[in-house]
Structure 1
Amino acid sequence: MLKQMAQSFYRSVLDEVGVPASLSSAIQDHPALRQVVFGEKKTASSRDIQQWENLGRSARGLDAPQGVLVGWTDTQGSYASIDLPVTALSRLVTTRTVEQFTCDITEIETLGAAKSNLSEYSNLDEFAEQRCANLLGDISKEGLLKMLEHDQIRSVGANATDTLSRYGWDGRLNLLNEGGAHHFAAARYIAKHMDIPVPICTTLHEYVFDPLAVAQLNQQFDIFAIGDPAHDARAHLALQDAFKKVRATFFIGSLPWSAGDHARDASAIFLLKNDRKSERIADLFRKEGFMDLGQVLESKLAVQLSATKTTRVRSHQPSELGM
């Protein structure tokens, strides 16, 4: 008992001088703080693509504008909540619309919706082979045309209504279909194996990182992923209590979860780089092996820049199907 009291007193002394001793202890007592399941998951579903425009969004929801971080700081002797507008965060992802964007059906790599679970398949070829085998009995031009004539295929022809999306950090073309997933996947599979061009011309919505915003965000903050298990709030409460004891400024918000990810048991924590206490905490997180989201962000930007350098405008052959 006396030993525990002495340790607690010693941690309090260190906390008072800006050394995050209580936070170090909380990490040891709550391993769940390190346990973050957040990684790239490439599947046949566009809903599994991470949404980086949501990085740092507050749990308060719609009343917290994009680009405003919510956190706690020591102000005038009181440890209180604070909102911080961050310009780099508000323009981290930019969007543009390309009208009459043209590609081939084989360049579509994910779908937005299907009666089957697209997340169970790593790509559309696998989805077609395993879930659309009953539609692949006729690998021919006639079989392809039959698939494309399905009434829920709305991406081919002069009156296409389904649109496309592409995320710079992912690079793939996604068809935002409302139906016809199985017939589309079968048509794509047949066209690929028969080497028959099937042009798609529709609106493309692109989402890309602003490289300057990425650089500015990483210059302003150290960003880490922190486990926040919904079934056990003790770890998160211990984290907040430890920050309060050292009176360190921190901000917390959402990770860029994909739309289809339901197990969101982690958060992003932002630490100011020009603050001595925050820098010590960042060093502790690195030592303890916490996921460095700043590094993840840089790696995602590298994917985008690499894709930009290698992208070439391709002219597609006219369709042999008369569509």
Structure 2
Amino acid sequence: MPATLPFGRWLHKARWVDTAAWKYAQAFHEQARQVAFPAESASGRGIIRWQDWPPCFGGDIAHWEPGPRGMLCRRATLAPASRLITTVYHDAFSCSIREITSLESGKGGLTTSATLDAYALSECCGLINSDPAWIEKLLGWHELRFNAAPGAGESLESFSWHGRGYHLLNQGGAHHFAAARYLAGFYAPRFCINAPLARYSINHEAAQDILNAYDMFCEPEDQAMLEAFTHRMAAAGVPHATCPAPPPWDGEYRLLLLSRESRKAAGAASVLRQHGWFDVSALLRSHVTP
């Protein structure tokens, strides 16, 4: 299966049951080409949450391999994934409020605002004034739990593969926090927030083991289209595997894993890469490359 074959011709080579199945596979391909890296936002949606990827905590992947009567499915864990993430906890951590760049929860345009300052200006103008003492009052809002008992308050996350700052795991109070942070930029840029921190980093050796084993792509979570595309893979005898995608892609997309040890799977990977499927392997590689 030469990598230079146009995608349509590659699809046509399958023994299709009907025209509808072929059209589904084409539509599936077009959707897969639209997958993109999530845009950065004040909600942290631009953070790929590898630490929440199911294979990292024992979730299995479905392997489909050619057999005498079609494709056979077996389920197994992805062993290197269990070592992919290293987590270090800091019970007492302090950082400038301006170093917090995204929030877990918030009303209005949190997900569509590129930054927390943009969110503050568009959503929180009624909370912004010129009194520096107002910062403390805003952070004392009852939905913000900075003074709660240990284990019940706000906490922070940081990610070695995402260098934009700290992510606040709040349950509410987004408007008040964003307004306080905005004011601090003018009146108290070193104003400190104290909260527990979970610091996540990628284990380079485990990541390389995954990259050596598979080419990974993001594909739509659409059952009818997925069945049609899987039929094409079966007709070509291409071994492959699937598993849930890491957040924020989960729910809408899954990962397609193609073994680098299989000539047919490697050929399929070349076709998909050439025709614009989102290369998750390249993304993971960029996250471990200094």
User: TM-score with structure 1 length normalisation?
Assistant: 0.73
Contact 1:74–1:80 (Cα < 8 Å) also in 2: yes
- 2:173 matched to which residue of 1? 180
Q: What's the offset of the Cα at 1:77?
A: 6.0
| Counterparts of 2:148 and 2:81, CA distance in 1 | 39
Q: What's the offset of the Cα at 1:293?
A: 1.4
The residue type equivalent to 2:125 in the other structure is A
| Counterparts of 1:65 and 1:101, CA distance in 2 | 26
Contact 1:114–1:182 (Cα < 8 Å) also in 2: yes
- 1:32 matched to which residue of 2? 28
Distance verdict in 2 for CA 1:54–1:271, change over 3 Å: farther
Q: What's the offset of the Cα at 1:75?
A: 4.4
**2:77 maps to 1:85:** yes
Q: What's the offset of the Cα at 1:229?
A: 3.6
Instruction: Tell me which of 96, 101, 106 is aligned to 2:93.
Output: 101
| Counterparts of 2:250 and 2:83, CA distance in 1 | 26
Contact 2:132–2:188 (Cα < 8 Å) also in 1: no
1:247-298 CA deviation, whole Å, 9 max, x = no partner? 332101222231xx6871x321111111222122222223333222111211
The residue type equivalent to 2:43 in the other structure is S
**2:222 maps to 1:224:** no
Counterpart of 2:111 in 1: which secondary structure?
A: helix
- 2:271 matched to which residue of 1? 284
Structure showing greater radius of gyration is: 1
Distance verdict in 2 for CA 1:196–1:79, change over 3 Å: closer
The residue type equivalent to 2:242 in the other structure is I
Unaligned runs of 5+ in 1: 1-14, 58-63, 306-323
User: Kindly, what percent of the aligned residue pairs are identical?
Assistant: 25
Counterpart of 1:161 in 2: which secondary structure?
A: coil
The residue type equivalent to 2:145 in the other structure is R
**2:264 maps to 1:273:** no
Q: What's the offset of the Cα at 1:47?
A: 5.2
Counterpart of 1:81 in 2: which secondary structure?
A: strand
Distance verdict in 2 for CA 1:182–1:228, change over 3 Å: closer
Distance verdict in 2 for CA 1:240–1:300, change over 3 Å: same
Contact 2:109–2:119 (Cα < 8 Å) also in 1: no
Contact 1:54–1:255 (Cα < 8 Å) also in 2: no
Coordinate RMSD, CA, aligned: 3.2
- 2:134 matched to which residue of 1? 143
The residue type equivalent to 1:153 in the other structure is L
Q: What's the offset of the Cα at 1:187?
A: 1.3
Q: What's the offset of the Cα at 1:170?
A: 2.0
The residue type equivalent to 2:226 in the other structure is H
Aligned residues: 273
- 2:4 matched to which residue of 1? none
- 2:122 matched to which residue of 1? 130
1:95-118 CA deviation, whole Å, 9 max, x = no partner? 221121110111111112223341
Contact 2:98–2:189 (Cα < 8 Å) also in 1: no
Counterpart of 2:137 in 1: which secondary structure?
A: helix
**2:243 maps to 1:250:** no
- 2:227 matched to which residue of 1? 237
| Counterparts of 1:99 and 1:221, CA distance in 2 | 37
User: TM-score with structure 2 length normalisation?
Assistant: 0.81
Instruction: Tell me which of 180, 187, 201 is aligned to 1:194.
Output: 187
| Counterparts of 1:149 and 1:255, CA distance in 2 | 37
Unaligned runs of 5+ in 2: 1-9
Distance verdict in 2 for CA 1:29–1:185, change over 3 Å: closer
Contact 1:132–1:182 (Cα < 8 Å) also in 2: yes
- 1:12 matched to which residue of 2? none
- 1:321 matched to which residue of 2? none
- 1:112 matched to which residue of 2? 104
Distance verdict in 2 for CA 1:239–1:158, change over 3 Å: closer
Q: What's the offset of the Cα at 1:140?
A: 2.6
Distance verdict in 2 for CA 1:74–1:198, change over 3 Å: same
Q: What's the offset of the Cα at 1:225?
A: 2.1
Q: What's the offset of the Cα at 1:174?
A: 1.1
Contact 1:23–1:239 (Cα < 8 Å) also in 2: no
| Counterparts of 1:52 and 1:236, CA distance in 2 | 24
Distance verdict in 2 for CA 1:220–1:190, change over 3 Å: same
Instruction: Tell me which of 39, 44, 50 is aligned to 1:46.
Output: 44
The residue type equivalent to 2:28 in the other structure is A
- 1:155 matched to which residue of 2? 146
